[in-house]
Amino acid sequence: MKDFLELKGKKVVIVGLGASGYWAAKWLASVGARVTVSELRNAQGLDPKTLDELAGMGVRLETGGHKESTFGEADTIVVSPGVPQDIAALSKAREKGIWVTGELELASRFIEAPIVAVTGTNGKSTVTSMIGHALTRGGMKAYVGGNIGTPLSALLAQGLEPEVVVAEVSSFQLDTTETFCPRVAILLNITRDHLDRYRGFGEYVESKLRIFQNLGEGSCAIICDEDPILSALDLGSDRRVFRYGLGAKKDRHAYVQKGSMVVRNGKLREYSLRDYKLKGLHNTQNLLAVGLAYTFFGLEPDLFQTAIREFEPLAHRMEWVGQTNGITFYNDSKATNVDATVRAIEGLDRPIVLVAGGRHKGASYEPLAKAAKGRVKAVITVGEAAHLIEKALSGIIPCYRAESIDTAVREAYSRAAPGDIVLLSPACSSFDMFSNYKERGEKFKQVVRRIIHGQG
């Protein structure tokens, strides 16, 4: 690990007490920084054990709002990903010359292990977890973290020394990067998302492309050239770029051919897809990115074939929940944007009754209408965006409004026939009705289990 001496005694304000704020506070306090956490929520809405733990480490806690005076006295301000960059207190701090950064940027400066960074509109968590598993299977000591749930500052706080760090990286985290330089930078796809936070799609694209801004000698970029934006991306001749897609092409380094995955990264390797459990063509694309990352480190090829057999779908991502009366239920609550729902629909080969809706994120639902035609027999809409989805699907797919996930699932089940799939794939965020997509997915699964067990 690198020397933390430069942090000792520094006045650091951490904005937001989510996972990244919590671990950043623990790490920085443990190395002697004078830490203040500024949280918008009141203390009553926070975990008392967390508050007591941080207070015991000497962390000052400021709840119920962000005070400009606190920000103005800081040497450094560390912003959690969920906090908008343009709030007044941050703007005034920047005007005073105070360094405003993100947890990812700050933590990465003190990590010596090579970093594999994964971003994209969809598939980040799946690819991150698969790469971590594959590298571990290949014999490397891997730490999996970032936006997937465990921040990089947790690695530092716990004094861990992995051989490789695999990090899911969101656009919000990339917004605050300056020197962040992964050894392997993976960009899976870019489609319209988070338009409720960015001023336009172009700004969102620029945010994603920041993952490549500091790539240097010994690093590489991995991109899907079936994505219309990434296919035209030119990173220059001085950077190693590996491209992948489902079909074989001259310039592709990974593709699918006759039921196998082919990787051309130095030597040509071929892996059977027969035992790969993740459904949908998008998950086959995801596997190609994983294969390129694995072979970059020169690990034993046969062990990657074993890893392919072992990969399991993550919870809330096309997760099989159960079956009753010939009707199958899938939980895809992590599909918080339109493109993710489109991919889920296109990856299934049976009639679908779709449960969709939640908080609108600014993107058009027209792609959903196009994908649903001929595949989806009915849509049960919920949440704030229900009327927008219904408007886009008007005259194409029958829509039925429900007031809750509970009633939506029961309505979907009543309209499904043997052989059909009831799919929760919302195309929206969960924040109108739930604290996060996980809570939404768990509620879906609870209702499905009651239906399967005949509990009404």
- Whole-Å CA distances, 376 to 200, 348, 369, 425, 448: 30, 10, 9, 12, 19
| Annotation says 96 is catalytic | no
Q: Which of 147, 189, 265, 286 is catalytic?
A: 147
Give the containing element (helix H, strand E) for 262: strand 260-265
Q: Which two tokens stand for residue 421?
A: 């799939």
| Annotation says 133 is catalytic | no
> 24: Cβ–Cβ under 8 A, 6 or more apart, which residues?
14, 78, 103, 106, 107, 151, 153
Sheet of 260-265, strands arranged across: 142-146, 164-168, 115-119, 184-187, 220-224, 240-244, 254-257, 260-265, 267-272
Please, what is the Cα angle at 285 between 281 and 290, to 5 degrees? 140
Q: Which of 194, 253, 316, 443 is catalytic?
A: 194
The two beta strands, 60-62 and 76-79, are unpaired
Provide the 3-class DSSP secondary structure of residue 270: strand
Q: What is the Cα–Cα distance from 354 to 23, expressed in whole angstroms? A: 38
Q: 221 has which bridge partners?
A: 185, 241
- For every residue of 349-360, DSSP letters joined together read -S-EEEEEESB-
Sheet of 11-15, strands arranged across: 60-62, 34-38, 11-15, 76-79, 99-102
| Annotation says 124 is catalytic | yes
Q: What is the Cα–Cα distance from 388 to 334, expressed in whole angstroms? A: 20
- Whole-Å CA distances, 48 to 54, 55, 332, 403: 10, 10, 32, 33
Name the residue with tokens 């490397």: 140
Closest CA to 130 of 120, 142, 121: 142
- Whole-Å CA distances, 294 to 85, 89, 298, 417: 35, 43, 7, 42
> For the chain, how big is the Rg over CA atoms in Å?
23
Q: What is the Cα–Cα distance from 194 to 429, expressed in whole angstroms? A: 10
Q: Catalytic residue numbers?
A: 124, 147, 194
